[in-house]
Amino acid sequence: MYKAEPDPYCYSNSSVLRNKADLKSQETLDEFETAMTFARSEEPLPHGRFSVNHYKAIHHHIFQDVYSWAGKYRTVRLTKGASTFCYPEHIAREMKKIFTWLKSEVYLERLSINEFSADAAHLLAELNAVHPFREGNGRTQLTFLALLSANAGHPMNLEWLDPNEVLGPMVASFNGDERPLAELLATLQA
């Protein structure tokens, strides 16, 4: 569970995120979010140039039916467990740094599978540390990675990804060890 205080994204005296359907039960919101994001996943994703704006457009596309703030950076401090994510006042700067690096690396094109997996793990670790959105960061990261990997000639089959297997490597990458995440990504090569 995420912790953000004070959290204007949630209903009063609740940890349920304000949403377009005005659902105030977490279970009902989870079901609604799953249905709406699945429907959007069946549609073509926004075209872009693997930029900050493209990343934000992907988040908006996935969550536009659920949250009014889809595609917009969060404005509250956010923690999950012992992990504190980038403070909101630094998100824009940090995202610009990440995407400047990605462009300088020619969007990870012309790399071996192992090189691609290592750089993709670094990208995911950085995006995860920033956690630019109030909700939906993981799904946006993986959707963006699917597009980036296909463009780089290393398409990944994310259907092979077990959500329970990715948590440990993501936590390790947050703590500076990107190797387990790189190894996991290498196994997803289609």
List residues bridging with 10 in a β-sheet.
Answer: 17
Task: Summarize pLDDT for 130-166 with one digit per residue, the tens.
Answer: 999 999 999 999 999 999 999 999 999 888 888 888 9
* pLDDT digit string, tens, across residues 46-68: 999 999 999 999 999 999 999 99
Taken in order of first residue, the domains within the chain and their CATH numbers are 2-186 (1.10.3290.10)
Is the omega angle on the peptide bond into residue 88 within 30 degrees of 0, that is, cis? Answer: no
Q: Whole-model pTM?
A: 0.94
What's the Cα-to-Cα distance from 27 to each of 34, 41, 71, 132, 166, rounded to whole Å? 11, 21, 23, 24, 23
CB 79 within 8 A of CB 120: no
